[in-house]
Structure formats: C-alpha cells, structure tokens
Structure 1
Amino acid sequence: MFVTASGVDIDEMGYAMSRLEIESELFDGGNTVHEASSSTRPGKPFPKVDDEISQLTNLRSGPNDRLHQLVPGKQQLPVSPVRMLAGREGNYSGKGRFSSADRCHMLGRYLPVNGPWLVDQTTSRAYVSQFSADGSLFVAGFQGSNIRIYNVDRGWKVQKNILAKSLCWTVIDTSLSPDQRYLVYTSMSPVVHIVNVGSSTTESLANITEIHEGLDFSSNDRRYSFGIFSVKFSTDGRELVAGSSDDSIYVYDLEANKLSLRIMAHTADVNTVTFADESGNLIYSGSDDNLCKVWDRRCFGAKDKPAGVLVGHLEGITFLDSRGDGRYFISNGKDQTIKLWDIRKMSSDTSCNLGYRNFEWDYRWMDYPPQARDLKHPSDGSVATYKGHSVLRTLIRCYFSPEYCTGQKYIYTGSHDSRVYIYDVVTGAQVAVLKHHTSPVRDCSWHPHYPVLVSSSWDGDVVKWEFPGKGEAPVLANERRVRRQYHD
C-alpha cells in the first residue's frame, strides 16, 4: 500500500516514483525494484500481449538502446533520470536532445497519484470529464443541465458555465472541437446542441444569454424520439459522429449543417462511437449487443455492412477509445473487463455472438454474478483483457494514457467501486488504484502533456491527481461535506 502526502492510500502502486535520488538508488544501486502486482488472480498469469503491440509500446516509451548499454545486465529495468541526463549531455543520440521515446520513458514513470486536490464540488452527479486537446481547458458535465469549462492555465477558473434547457433527463455526453471554439452536448434526444466556447460571456444560459444551436440528427421522414449516448468531433472539426438508442450510428456534416450518414449498425443501443484516426474514414462502434464493429466509409457498397466485427465481450460495451493509429482500440464492457483489439483480427461473421448467459442480470441495479467472472467467450478475438475495476450502473469510460508523455503505455478507467484504475498495457499489471470518491467514477481524464489526472464521480466531486503536486492543500477526509444519498 502506498500513502500519499494527503493521507489517501493507493493500493498496488508499483511505478509511482517520488524523487530523483530514490530513483537513482533503485535503478543504479543494484537494489531490487518493487514490481507492480498483476491485475489477474493468483495462479492465473496475464496472457502475453502479442509481440507487435509490445514492440510498438516499447518504441514509444523505451529509452535509446545505447542508454541500456550504460547499465549492463539491467536491460529490463527502467533507465534512471541521472543516467539519461548523463547520456544526453554526452550526446548519445547525436542530436543533443532527448527523443520522444526518451521523454515518455521519463514522464511515463511519474504517475498522477498524489492528492487529490479539489477542482469543484456540487450536489449533482458528475458524468463527464474531458481535457481539451492541448490541455488548456477542462470540461465537466453534471446531472441535469449544467456543464462547466475550466481554464486550466488560469488556476482552474470557470471560463464557461453552460446551463442547458429543454433536455431529456440529463447531459449524457460532451465533446470539444479540436480548435476549442465549440462544445457539443447530448441528451436523450435526437437533437445535439452546440455552444460557442470562445465567446466572452461566462454564463451561457441556453437561448437566453447565448444561442445553443440545435443540430437535428433525425431525418425528415423520421421524427420519432431517440437519445444520443455518445458524440465525438472528427480531428478536422468538420464532422460529428454519434451513437444512439435506436441502434444506429450518425455522421453530421457541420459545414453543410445536415445529417450526412445514418448506419443501422447494431441490434441494441449504440453506447459508444469514435473515429479510428485523423483520416475520419474508419469508425469504431460498441453496443449492448456485446459487439464492437469497424466501419469503413470508403467502401459502403453493401448497405449497413461493417468492415468487420470483433467478438469477445460477454455483455454490452460501455465505451471505446482508439489508439489513434487506425489499428488498435480498447473497449470497456459490462462483463467487468477492458479488452484490447487489433482490427486486423476482426471477423466478417455478424452471427458469431450467440448468447452465453444462462442467468438473469441487469447491470443497472444488480452486482455482477460471481459465476460469470471467469467465463470466456469461445470466439474471443481480443489481444488482451484487463480486470480489476467494475462496470456497473452507468456507462463507465476507459482510455489510453497520453501519447506525448507516456507513449500510451497505460490504460486507465473509472469504476463503480469509486476508484480510478491504471493498468500497464503490456503486462496487465494494476500500476495504480486511486481512492477518494464515495460513489461511482463514470469518467476521468489524463492531461495530454503532464502527469495530471482528473476524476469526476457521482458523489459530485471533481478532483485532480498530480505528480508530484503543487503544494495546494489536498481534500481531507474529515473536512468533506455530508453528501445526500442517491436512490435512483
């Protein structure tokens, strides 16, 4: 167990380093390095991830081979910052600087585990956490109609307080445009609203102080109601992709201001969609029919036919995150697992997901049956499976850690048990478990450039975790407010 300066304990720490001197002793003094414990059960070692993803991860987050030569016999251990600085001063690379992989090797070892420090505290459940692409803004969405945008570079001051109107139930998802000028938000409605984030007005009350333009995702001949669970901007900011409760994927052309594509994609709710890479040609989708699907917009010869299907989850998919290379992505499932996928292993058989459950279970109010935890789909085509967190009550989200500072060597996720889990992609180890919240953590977000992670929970707290921290007073357990009980 690792205890932070604030008194918040973190189980199974492993990689959370503290000071340069400590690292120098660990990696240069011949002492044994404390290994991160596996997220799998005793006696069941984590299956070896295929060599390609291991190599790709190492290329992004491993130091130059010449630095390993400075530490003979210790090729499997991280190279300490002292050695790396000495190597840089000796111009080992011939470029007089660290490579991006060197940077990730150093920064990726400093996990955001210290804290937490309070960003905001409300009486409403927090549903969405999202850093902007450059990390200067942070978006938090709360139950009901409130969305707040914080200016990270100005001490987390509220830059925009958005109050939506005429919503169906609550704000379900948000997405910031790549240029950070606009934000879209969704609810259980076919209309997605878009807000000008760059305007000077702080209080953005829908259609009173500012216009929240409605983008209608229903076609002219289809006016029945459905809800949108997931929405994402394309990398160029010209399109939106959305997944809905009518089993469909939608693409909206923002320049033409009209719906450009609807795909009858699944046989149940499409809980999550995302563009595979910056080209916008490939789309990934996940559904309550237990399937992940890949859609190639360049070859829609057969109507609503996916490029391939990825089978392995035993229950519905709550969230997808792409590695951004048009090849790998991860999915969070109601079977209490995260799975890593390689789309080159997808199947063309859409009927290969026959039901394997022989018990009644509803994730919205029941715990996952113990007898189901060790079940494996006979046609599981995933590259790796990560276990330890829990996916119950809400569409809990998972992500790759940032490329810039970690080389995407970790996967992190919220959890129904009120914690944030961080896994090593290659080994499957739980390298950190962050404890603070008292209710499910639906979403969390890692800063794109620094070891800062923000978690938002149904307890109403939005908190940030850092390494090493900036000296602010952390949230203390005995000073926390009394929370109302949630029964719905």
Structure 2
Amino acid sequence: MLAGREGNYSGRGRFSSADRCHVLSRYLPVKGPGLVDHMPSRAYVSQFSADGSLFIAAFQDSQIRIYNVDRGWKIQKNIQAKTMRWTVTDTSLSPDQHHLVYASMSPIVCMVNVGSSQTESLANVAEIHEGLDFSSGDDGGYSFGIFSVKFSTDGHELVAGSSDDSIYVYDLEANKPSLRILAHTSDVNTVCFADESGHLIYSGSDDTLCKVWDRRCFKAMGRPAGVLTGHLEGITFIDSKGDGRYFISNGKDQAIKLWDIRRMTSKATCIPGHRSSEWDYRWMDYPPQAKDIKHPSDQSIASYRGHSVLRTLIRCYFSPACSTGQKYIYTGSHDAGVYIYDLVSGARVATLKYHKAPVRDCSWHPYYPMLVSSSWDGGIVRWEFPGNGEAPQPFSSRNRIWRRHFS
C-alpha cells in the first residue's frame, strides 16, 4: 500500500478510498468511555448527522439535545418537545441539516428549525414546532402512534411506521400525507428508504416479517414487492446498506439478520406454533428453549447473536461506509452493552460495557473511529480510538468522501 502511494499507482497522488477504508477499519472505537452528557431521564435516540458535525439525543422526558461535535460537544439546540405520549420514539435530521422532526405515540410529527440562532427551543413558546398530521383528520388525532420516521434523501418526504400496522409517506411540499399502506398485521416498528432514489421502502413489524415496497408499482399491485421471512419474533429495527439490495434487522428473537432482497418471495411463509403468545419482551426474559428454534424457511443470509433485545426497540446498524467500508454491524443491548460483529464472519469483535441500563441506540461517527452510546440510565458516552478524551478537530468538507463504496 505504501509502495503504491509512493509510486502514485492510483494516479491521484494520494491513498485510494479503498486503502483508507482498509486502514481505518482496523481501528475500533473501544477505548473509553468519555462522558458527553447525563440526563435524569431515559435516552431513546442518539444519532450523528450525515457529516458527523452534529449529534442528536432524545429522552423520555421530552428533551432533545443537539450537540455541535466540531465545537467540543457544545449544546447547539436544547429542544423541549410538545406534550409527548410516552416518549420521543424517533427523530430524523433533514439532509441539509436545517430541520429536525420528532415523533411520539401520536400521529402528529413535529418539525423544528435547527438552523435558527435560538439555543433554547420550547415548543410554541420560544419557537414554533410545526405539527405534521399523519392521520386522516376524522379520528380525533390520537388514533395511533409513530415508532419510526425518516427523511428522504432529497428532503421532500418523510416515511413513518405506525402502531396502526401502516406505513405513511408525508409530502412536505404539499403538507399532507401522500400515501398510506396497510403494510402488516401488527405494529410497524421500523421503516427506512432502501437507497437514495426513494423508490424502495423497507419495513419491519411485530408480525415477524420484513417487507419491501416499490412505490413505482404499488398502486397497480396493491401489495409489497416482496416479503422476507426468518425472524421468529417481532422486528425492532431495520438499517439499509444504502445500495438498494442489502439490509439488516434486529429481532426480538435475540438475533440480527442480514438480508439480500433478491431472495424475497411474494408471500410470507407461516410457521404455526413457533411463536409463544404468552411471551412479552417488555417484561419477560426470552425463553431458553426458544433460542434453539430456527425458522424452517429462513431467507436471511447471515445471523448475529450474543446481544439481548428486550424491554425496548433496540437498534442496529452497519458501520460507516467511508471509514470502515461497512465491515461491521453494531447494536445496543438490553444487558447495557454495545456489541460489534464482523459482517462476513459473524464473530463478535468487541463488546463495550459501561452503562447500568439498556442501551437502546448508538451511533458510529461517519468519518472517525468514534462511537456514541445512549442508555436508559440517562448517560450519553463516547468510545474512541485512540481516545484522548478530546473532541476531534473539524473535518473539512473538501476532504470528505461522499461516494459510497460497497462490495
């Protein structure tokens, strides 16, 4: 690699993107942790912005904090959300990083202007939090809750998964829902766009199924483009690789699964008797006898086990494309840890232990070997390599690599 650099084999006078990924992927963010913040409430959401300059954390007490990573984790925005039902279930930052939407167990998703000069943002007192109504308007406004919400890549739409078994697409320019899909037979806990085109949507539900929806032909077909079976219990989260082909899902059967949508079928394969109607992950441990049960028609291409998915909708992700080549999968866990798995071998390569309560969400910086975990103990902490306890220096946008690299 060094000889190639010195000989300018790439013709660009620098290391290739693949070389940088190869080197950086060896440095796991396992040293620490360093405390970012501690709140007297459960942390439900924690995410870096796409460029890594901002970090968003949302808590059960309706508090949402946006930290400026490039300025030493200074609080850039302290948002007091509108009256919540239960908690802030999800947040999403617009691609231009000017607006943040947040959801709860209500059909109203609120939007905040993140780019304003105001640090304190008290809903409809200090600033306007625009309410986006995903309901039909004839149900009293509280007919369902939203578990998951995501901006489209162009920032013109939102996609949401709800407790009324549906997927909603909201047109921000028209300021109204443009599509409702009665997608599953139980709560839709997670949704996301498959790639930058916005045509494909992935969904995961408590009915144990992952589904792929193609908006270009949905009105003609009236059904999903395909279904993927393999989980024995409900699905808590889905993360797309971004290539419109691969994604991962976290399941209440205590496993992450890797999927290739080219394996999807038109119908789901039912497995009567394999699910326990008496088991509830919210307050019961996973039955030991169920750990050895395998789905007879599992369409996934790999499974990753060792973490615990109990009490809450724990999230999992691919590691960043630019710094690791998406070589790893990482997830929070009910046992208060963060687990990192090798994508290809399935081996657990690191376990991060610090918290005293479930880690629902965690986020890997898109360019640095730094990971931040958030927990029900109220703690937001960062793990780094080599980890000197200081915030990274601002990363010039001229040096950022925007093109994704997939195998």
TM-score range, shorter chain: over 0.9
390, 405, 409: which one aligns with 2:327: 409
Which residue matches 1:159?
Answer: 76
Query: Aligned residue pairs: how many?
Result: 390
Q: Distance in 2 between matches of 1:93 and 1:304?
A: 49
Which residue matches 1:131?
Answer: 48
What is the 5 A alignment of 1:7-46? none
Which residue matches 1:460?
Answer: 378
Which residue matches 1:449?
Answer: 367
Q: Distance in 2 between matches of 1:283 and 1:139?
A: 24
In the alignment, structure 2 segments of 5+ residues that lack a partner are: 392-407
16, 28, 42: which one aligns with 1:99: 16
Native 8 Å contact 1:264 1:304 kept in 2: no
What is the 5 A alignment of 1:314-353? 314-350=232-268, 352-353=270-271
Q: Distance in 1 between matches of 2:183 and 2:288?
A: 32
Q: Distance in 1 between matches of 2:259 and 2:64?
A: 32
What is the 5 A alignment of 1:21-420? 84-223=1-140, 225-302=143-220, 304-350=222-268, 352-358=270-276, 360-420=278-338
Q: Distance in 2 between matches of 1:314 and 1:302?
A: 31
Q: Distance in 2 between matches of 1:301 and 1:148?
A: 39
Q: Distance in 1 between matches of 2:204 and 2:173?
A: 27
- Per the TM alignment, residue 302 of structure 1 is displaced from its structure 2 partner at its CA by 4.6
- Per the TM alignment, residue 289 of structure 1 is displaced from its structure 2 partner at its CA by 0.2
Identical-pair percentage? 80
Q: Distance in 2 between matches of 1:323 and 1:353?
A: 28
- Per the TM alignment, residue 361 of structure 1 is displaced from its structure 2 partner at its CA by 1.0
- Per the TM alignment, residue 88 of structure 1 is displaced from its structure 2 partner at its CA by 1.0
Letter paired with 1:177: S
Q: For residue 404 of structure 1, give the secondary structure of its aligned residue in structure 2.
A: helix
Q: Distance in 2 between matches of 1:210 and 1:353?
A: 51
Native 8 Å contact 1:410 1:425 kept in 2: yes
Q: Distance in 2 between matches of 1:151 and 1:295?
A: 36
Q: Distance in 2 between matches of 1:310 and 1:472?
A: 44
Q: Distance in 2 between matches of 1:98 and 1:191?
A: 48
Native 8 Å contact 2:269 2:297 kept in 1: no
TM-score for the superposition, normalised by structure 1? 0.78
Q: Distance in 2 between matches of 1:315 and 1:387?
A: 14
Q: For residue 365 of structure 1, give the secondary structure of its aligned residue in structure 2.
A: coil
Note the aligned Cα RMSD (angstroms): 1.4
Q: Distance in 2 between matches of 1:359 and 1:384?
A: 26
Letter paired with 2:48: F
TM-score for the superposition, normalised by structure 2? 0.93
Native 8 Å contact 1:291 1:353 kept in 2: no
Q: Distance in 2 between matches of 1:215 and 1:288?
A: 25
Native 8 Å contact 1:444 1:456 kept in 2: yes
